[in-house]
Structure 1
Amino acid sequence: MNFTIKDMFNLDECFERAIFEGLQYPWEALPKIKDFLLGFSKTLPKDFERIDEFVWVGKGTTIEKTVTIKGPAIIGYNCELRQCAFIRDSVIIGNECVIGNSTELKNSLLFNKVQVPHFNYIGDSILGYKAHTGAGVICSNLKSTGGTVKIKAADTYIETGLRKFGAMIGDNAEIGCNSVLNPGAVIGRNSIVYPLTSVKGYVPGNHILKNAGELVIRRIDS
């Protein structure tokens, strides 16, 4: 079960990498996002513009007029925030990310070059370098039965202690259209989730999860 921070993410592609210091698993950063963000904002370079009381935006980023940002939030360089995107409650967005039409982000952290471009909900989640979600992908962050989120991996469950926990999506992972990542989903590096899939638990890196639940090793062409 390779889902430590180093297993899933290239920290060189995360300007906010200091949030992971002293942690083993990526979801341990979720409760720290707000306090880290407010402290980190004091160290931002001068080419970050403060556009609201607790909202900072990097040079080259474009924001459509219909975008709503409720801080605290830090948005990196050369990002694209499209029509009706909604960012709220402690979000850090890396460089060159795309936040698309009617996409909502809440208490989440995005590495560089993440794309969540069409009608996505990303709540209490971390998305690695070049992770991409297809249209309509939902990171569900709250169990309908209540209680804390546990990660299912093989025949064991890992207690996170978190009531709200969406998904951890590794570097270069691809999530197909209209898939639902159930609370505590962990998708390894370079993996693919087929469209219309309900994802529960751990998907190892370099695998394909088909919508019938079949898990196969992904062939990576050179």
Structure 2
Amino acid sequence: MGRLGRIRIRADEESACRRESIPHAGRGGRILTDLVLGYFFSSLDDFIHPEVFAGLDYPWQALAAAKSRLGEIAGAGEPGGLIQCEVPGEAVVRGAVRVGEGTVIDAHVLIEGPAIIGRNVTIRHGALVRPGTIVSDDCVLGHGCEIKNSLLFRGAKVQSLTFCGDSVIGRGARIGSGTITANRRFDQGEIGIKHEGVRHPFDTEYFGCVLGDYVRLGANCVTLPGTLIGPYTWVMPLTRVGGFIPRGKLVSFKHALLMTDNQPRKLKP
């Protein structure tokens, strides 16, 4: 599952994601055509600020590109940003933040800028949106979830009690309740992807995952740092995944249930 297979993409998708100059190509200086933006996302127009992806080849490059422009976009036109929806008194919005029309913010939500929230987004009670986050239109952020430095395409859903850190989430993708997108290696080493026997670093110590369009992660899943999942793949609940998973797969992990005898005893008060 962690092994990277070769994926074919249409010529128009590949050409749309190429550049004349490729400073961030894979080792050896060539484009990793299996992993370009067009493989994971059918249209960059599904992202509220598609210009963030201009000139990029790979989705993991988008976080650095967004960071370099986010403060300027979020604060454009208004000191501290622009809020176009009602914010309840129990919610806190601080820093340069833009929120679009029709968005619903529940009580005890905290949004820290720079951040951008699109139109008709639902942010449930107790959600935390940390700096560096861009949420496109029609997304849902569930109760008690935490979104850190992540980019969400239109219609993505991050369910309750979930951590989504340093990740790029495609159109209509869903992250089930209790799921963790781990964004730092346990040994704090550099994150990357192994492709055709060669490791290609992401040039960062923090990166969660890339979920292509309409990927679904079931409840209580864990994605290891640097996980890339192709569109329309479903990962069943309680599954840990890492590396590259191609499009259109159903991924599960067989758990063995172990039962032994237990001596009856009462617990202390």
Could you state the TM-score of these two structures normalised by the residue count of structure 2? Answer: 0.74
Among 33, 38, 47, the alignment partner of 1:6 is 38
After superposition, give the CA deviation of every residue in 1:73-115 in whole Å (9 maximum; x if it has no partner).
Answer: 1000000000100011211000000000110011110000000
> Hey, what does 1:186 align to over in structure 2?
228
What 5-or-longer segments of structure 1 have no aligned partner? 214-222
> Hey, what does 1:68 align to over in structure 2?
110
Letter in 2 for 1:26: P
* Structure with more of its chain in strand, by fraction: 1
Secondary structure of the residue that 2:132 maps to in structure 1? strand
What 5-or-longer segments of structure 2 have no aligned partner? 1-5, 7-33, 85-92, 256-269
Among 36, 39, 51, the alignment partner of 1:18 is 51
RMSD (Å) for aligned C-alpha atoms: 2.0
Matched, 1:115 2:149: no
In the aligned structure 2, how far is the partner of 1:106 from the partner of 1:191?
Answer: 23
Following TM superposition, by how much is the alpha carbon of 1:169 offset from its aligned partner in structure 2, in angstroms?
A: 0.4
Alignment of 1:50-129 (within 5 A): 52-129=94-171
Choose 27-36 or 16-25, whichever is displaced more: 27-36
After superposition, give the CA deviation of every residue in 1:127-185 in whole Å (9 maximum; x if it has no partner).
Answer: 00000011111100000112110224564432211110000000000111100000000
Cα pair 2:75 2:98 within 8 Å, conserved: no
In the aligned structure 2, how far is the partner of 1:49 from the partner of 1:20?
Answer: 25
Letter in 2 for 1:98: V
In the aligned structure 2, how far is the partner of 1:187 from the partner of 1:212?
Answer: 20
Cα pair 2:75 2:97 within 8 Å, conserved: no
Letter in 2 for 1:15: I
Secondary structure of the residue that 1:59 maps to in structure 2? coil
> Hey, what does 1:49 align to over in structure 2?
83
In the aligned structure 2, how far is the partner of 1:176 from the partner of 1:3?
Answer: 24
Following TM superposition, by how much is the alpha carbon of 1:42 offset from its aligned partner in structure 2, in angstroms?
A: 5.6
Letter in 1 for 2:39: D
Among 137, 148, 157, the alignment partner of 2:199 is 157
Runs of 4 or more above 4 Å deviation:
153-156
Shift of the 53–161 alpha-carbon distance from structure 1 to 2, 3 Å rule, reads: closer
Secondary structure of the residue that 1:161 maps to in structure 2? coil
In the aligned structure 2, how far is the partner of 1:100 from the partner of 1:154?
Answer: 38
Q: Percent identity?
A: 35
In the aligned structure 1, how far is the partner of 2:196 from the partner of 2:182?
Answer: 21
Letter in 2 for 1:69: I
Matched, 1:206 2:206: no
Among 55, 59, 63, the alignment partner of 1:30 is 63
Letter in 1 for 2:175: T
Cα pair 2:74 2:114 within 8 Å, conserved: no
Aligned residues: 211
- Which of the pair has more CA radius of gyration? 2
Cα pair 2:75 2:96 within 8 Å, conserved: no
Letter in 2 for 1:49: I
Cα pair 1:33 1:90 within 8 Å, conserved: yes
Letter in 1 for 2:150: S
Secondary structure of the residue that 2:159 maps to in structure 1? strand
